[in-house]
Copies of this chain bind each other. A is one copy, B any other.
């Protein structure tokens, strides 16, 4: 592909979002973080010079994808925490269900986050922590505190609980290869997702509900 003039590149409507979505799809399908600009160009049908135009370089593209996916999560968790008419148990069930959906849709998000934190400058790592991880932690603190006050939950540590929930879900979706070789299941279907959602909500809610 040849490099199009900047003026023409500028004019493409939706190209930025298209590049992000194509990146997301490639990571999800390949179960990898490392994608090539050549692959991305083929998948998106867009000139790879657009990556430079919109994101500066590949690191910028990955950062924009991280921002896209995390912003959706943080906004949704924030709305959930502030639902005045739901009790803490309802909120937590809905939240875990959403975490399962999220890891099904963007299974690369945890590895991508860890990698960006590892490979970024101290200030960018801090930004990721402040913008995405800290709000999640505060949401857990709020939901669990509420549940304890309402007499619904046992008093558990929100930070450790956050690791328990995301870990339990993350591992399942990171483990497609294990599923394949160990259980002869070649792909992770929506049926798997629904079965796992039910299982994980069942175990974790039983784990935190006051008797």
Contact = CB atoms under 8 A, between A and B. Distances in A.
Contact of A182 (B133, B172, B211): B133
A210 to B, nearest CB: 10
A171 to B, nearest CB: 3
For chain A, which range describes its interface: under 10, 10 to 19, 20 to 34, or 35 or more residues?
35 or more
Given A117-B181, A125-B181, A164-B200, A211 B211 contact: yes
A148 interface: no
Count copies of this chain in the complex: 2
Contacts of A182: 129, 133-134, 137
Contacts of A126: 181
A204 to B, nearest CB: 6
A133 B203 contact: no
Interface stretch (A35-43, A45-53, A84-92, A152-160): A152-160
A160 B125 contact: no
A62 to B, nearest CB: 16
B172 A163 contact: yes
Contacts of A134: 182
Interface in A10-38: 31
B206 A133 contact: no
A67 to B, nearest CB: 16
Ordered nearest first, which 8 A-B pairs have the shortest CB separation? A167-B171, A203-B207, A207-B207, A129-B181, A160-B199, A133-B182, A129-B182, A167-B167
Given A163-B172, A207-B207, 18 more contacts: A117-B177, A117-B178, A125-B177, A126-B181, A129-B178, A134-B182, A137-B182, A154-B206, A159-B183, A160-B196, A163-B168, A163-B171, A166-B171, A167-B167, A202-B207, A203-B207, A206-B208, A211-B211
